[in-house]
Amino acid sequence: MVIGLCIIELLIGDAGCLKDKRRIMKSMMDRVKAHHNVSIAEIDQHDLWQRSTIAFTCISNERKHAFQVLNSVVKFFEKQGESQVLDYRIEMI
């Protein structure tokens, strides 16, 4: 069993306040859950209205499959016009 973990830092340029940030983040995280088999949560920078740190995980039998799933979620965030990926890291446990 392999557990894949990705931590991604986002810049949310369209957010003018915390309420905007929460709306944008909820929408993006709901879309990720609907299209990818991952668990996802905001883990840091809760009070900053233009920054967010998100973690998502995937459990698989194969390391390659877990990496592909996590990488596809990163690509999803990179394609979104609502946010910009500042940094990310993928770990396999």
SS (H, E, C) the chain: CEEEEEEEEEECCCCCCHHHHHHHHHHHHHHHHHHCCCEEEEEECCCCCCEEEEEEEEEECCHHHHHHHHHHHHHHHHHCCCCEEEEEEEEEC
Query: Residue 42 sits in which domain range?
Result: 2-92
* Whole-number pLDDT of residue 11: 95
> Band of the pLDDT at 82, cuts 50, 70, 90?
confident
Average pLDDT, the chain: 94
- CA within 13 Å, CB half, 80: 23
* Whole-number pLDDT of residue 89: 97
Question: Is it the case that residue 80 has pLDDT exceeding 90?
Answer: no
How confident is the model over 26-66, as pLDDT tens digits?
999 999 999 998 999 999 998 898 999 999 999 999 999 99
CATH of the domain at 83: 3.30.70.1120
Domain count, the chain: 1
* Whole-number pLDDT of residue 14: 84
